[in-house]
Amino acid sequence: MQALIEVILPVFLVMGFGYLAVWRGLFSDSAVDGLMSFTQNFAIPCLLFRAISTLDLGQEFDPALLFSFYAGALAGFAAGLLGARYIFGRDWEDAVAIGFVGLFSNSLLLGLPITERAYGAEALAGNYAIVALHAPFCYGVGIVAMELARARTATRALLRQLAGQLLRNALVIGILLGFAVNLTGLALPVPVTDALDLMIRAALPAALFGLGGVLYRYRPEGDMRTIAFVVAVSLLLHPLVTWGLGRAFGLPEAGLRSAVMTAAMAPGVNAYIFANLYGRARRIAASSVLIATALSVLTIWVWLHVLP
């Protein structure tokens, strides 16, 4: 109960304030969009840049940690894809969009603050290693699968398009610049690091408040059986596979915590963005993000008791 009160509830209360503010008309949709634009395009890229630039790359980019997490993510994608197709009779394009919900956990806006509150800021190194590859990996899998579902091939033009989209993404730019500073050993001037730290302090609280406002838009609707299935895949299958592989590989305590806690997060808003991009299974993706986020309060609590 202490973990629920001290670790999980503060994070979800900030989200709840955002949800309530938009619901009661105290914070407009345009203000939510502006706040999310600030966090996604400026504050969080600063956070990722600062974190990656100071990581011990040789130690934190542990192949066992990355394999445990991303094998779990692929298991979630495969389960969502095949379940949507063969259990619920969706066409392949819908199935890919539903599979993406099981693939894309909310590693940034939920994974970072909850891991930090549970285990301290020093426990986030493994989270940052996962986040550095998360968007390129997940969007790469999703886009290639969707193009194949449309009876196309993963041509060079498609891969160039994917690379172009990723290289224009502010989060990816922050990560790449962080790698550049880390690998070159460049020392940043103190005023620059102080300015970055000011931006970083605003990143997660503002993003959580904005996320609450975004979730208000996602009314639970659509095929509830399919939604329940993909929520279970996201909240149960992904962390269970990651936990099992992490234990099998003998991940150290810190790495196991980072991998499993990140895997245990609800689907991120990007799950809806991907579905909306292709116009497929949008109601299921939106409802799954909302419902899984609410239910994750309980599943995260369980994992906090299971993990060392």
Summarised one tens digit per residue, pLDDT across range 71-80 is 999 999 999 9
Query: Which one, of 48, 273, 262, 50, lies nearest residue 170 by Cα?
Result: 48
Q: What is the pLDDT of residue 181?
A: 93
Helix, coil or strand: residue 89: coil
Q: Which of 51-60, 155-164, 178-187, 221-230 is predicted with the least confidence, judged by mean pLDDT?
A: 155-164
Q: What is the pLDDT of residue 14?
A: 92
CATH architecture of structural domain 2-306: Up-down Bundle (1.20)
Q: Which of 124-133, 158-167, 230-239, 292-301 is predicted with the least confidence, judged by mean pLDDT?
A: 158-167
pLDDT band (50, 70, 90) for residue 4: low
User: What is the arithmetic mean of pLDDT over 230-250?
Assistant: 97
Helical axes 282-306 vs 9-23, angle rounded to 10°: 150
Task: Give pLDDT tens digits for 174-213.
Answer: 889 999 999 998 889 999 999 999 999 998 899 889 888 8
26: pLDDT strictly greater than 90: yes
274: pLDDT strictly greater than 90: no
What whole-number percentage of the chain has pLDDT above 70? 94
Q: What is the pLDDT of residue 154?
A: 52
219: pLDDT strictly greater than 80: no
pTM score of the predicted model: 0.85
Residues in contact with 3: Cβ distance below 8 Å, sequence separation at least 6, in sequence order = 118, 301, 304, 305
Classify each residue of 59-90 as buried b or exposed e, where b means 16 or more C-beta atoms within 10 Å of its C-beta. Answer: ebbbebbbbbbbbbbbbbbebbbebbbeebeb
- In the chain, the amino acid numbered 47 is L
- Rounded distance, CA 183 to CA 171, Å? 18
Query: Which one, of 199, 140, 146, 207, lies nearest residue 169 by Cα?
Result: 140
User: What is the arithmetic mean of pLDDT over 97-117?
Assistant: 94
The domain limits of the chain are: 2-306
162: pLDDT strictly greater than 70: no
Q: What is the pLDDT of residue 252?
A: 94
Q: What is the pLDDT of residue 297?
A: 92
What whole-number percentage of the chain has pLDDT above 90? 58
Q: What is the pLDDT of residue 198?
A: 94
User: What is the arithmetic mean of pLDDT over 249-262?
Assistant: 95
Helix, coil or strand: residue 133: helix
157: pLDDT strictly greater than 70: no
Helix, coil or strand: residue 105: strand
How is residue 42 annotated by DSSP?
A: I
- Rounded distance, CA 229 to CA 207, Å? 28
56: pLDDT strictly greater than 90: no
Q: What is the pLDDT of residue 159?
A: 65
- Average pLDDT of the chain is 89
How is residue 249 annotated by DSSP?
A: T
- Rounded distance, CA 28 to CA 262, Å? 30
Residue tagged 């999980």 (tokens): 8
Q: What is the pLDDT of residue 36?
A: 87
